[in-house]
């Protein structure tokens, strides 16, 4: 479940809050934990073996559920202050030029490669959601999490 005091957490509070909405989407029955059955709803085309693997990776206390604290540890796993979790991998795959920010060109290239049809104004709006006024500046990892939370 969600820890009430995040001040001693390895993760900044702004990242934890941004993950809550993603956790809630996966917690289909809204019981405060993600079960195998919950994961079958968004991942209808995924083999049961893959779902079992996902659960095994995240379920650190081996109770057959993924609670919020386990979810945040998998998604935002930190090692010496550097993120190396799932979201870091996603961010790095979009950050095509490797400058530590996702800018207009990075996002446009990524969306085109994913065959998602978006126009220039939509791409600029996504970047602005992260708090960046200039298309060329791009958004940092924390700002990227903010975009996903919306």
CATH of 87-149, one of 1.10.238.10, 3.40.190.10, 3.30.420.40, 1.10.10.60: 1.10.238.10
Give the residue among 66, 78, 55 at the shortest CA–CA distance from 24: 66
Domain ranges in the chain?
13-76, 87-149
DSSP, collapsed to helix, strand or coil, labels residue 95 as coil
CATH topology of domain 13-76: Recoverin; domain 1 (1.10.238)
Mean pLDDT in residue range 124-138: 76
Cα–Cα dist 99/81, whole Å? 18
How high is the pLDDT of residue 2?
33
Residues 6+ apart with CB under 8 A from 150: 129
Maximum C-alpha span of the chain: 46
Taking only the tens place, the pLDDT of each residue in 77-119 is 655 555 556 677 778 888 988 999 988 899 889 888 878 888 9
b/e sequence 49-63, b meaning 16+ C-beta within 10 Å? eebeebbeebbeeee
Instruction: Name the packing angle between helices 86-94 and 141-149 (round to 10°).
Output: 100
Residue 43 near residue 51 (C-beta atoms within 8 A): yes
How high is the pLDDT of residue 133?
67
Taking only the tens place, the pLDDT of each residue in 19-73 is 787 788 889 999 999 999 998 887 777 788 888 888 888 899 999 999 999 888 8
* pLDDT beyond 50 at 123: yes
13-76 and 87-149 have identical folds: yes
């Amino acid at each position: 479940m969600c820890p009430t005091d995040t001040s001693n957490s390895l993760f900044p509070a702004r990242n934890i809050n941004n993950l809550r909405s993603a956790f809630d989407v996966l917690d289909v029955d809204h019981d405060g934990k993600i079960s195998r059955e919950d994961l079958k709803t968004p991942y209808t085309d995924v083999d049961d073996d893959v779902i079992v693997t996902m659960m095994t990776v995240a379920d650190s206390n081996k109770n057959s559920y993924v609670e919020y604290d386990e979810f945040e540890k998998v998604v935002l796993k930190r090692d010496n202050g550097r993120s190396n979790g799932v979201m870091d991998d996603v961010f790095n795959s979009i950050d095509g030029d490797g400058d530590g920010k996702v800018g207009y060109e990075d996002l446009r290239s990524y969306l085109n490669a994913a065959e998602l049809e978006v126009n220039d104004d939509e791409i600029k709006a996504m970047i602005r959601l992260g708090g960046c006024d200039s298309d060329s500046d791009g958004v940092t990892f924390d700002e990227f999490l903010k975009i996903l939370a919306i």
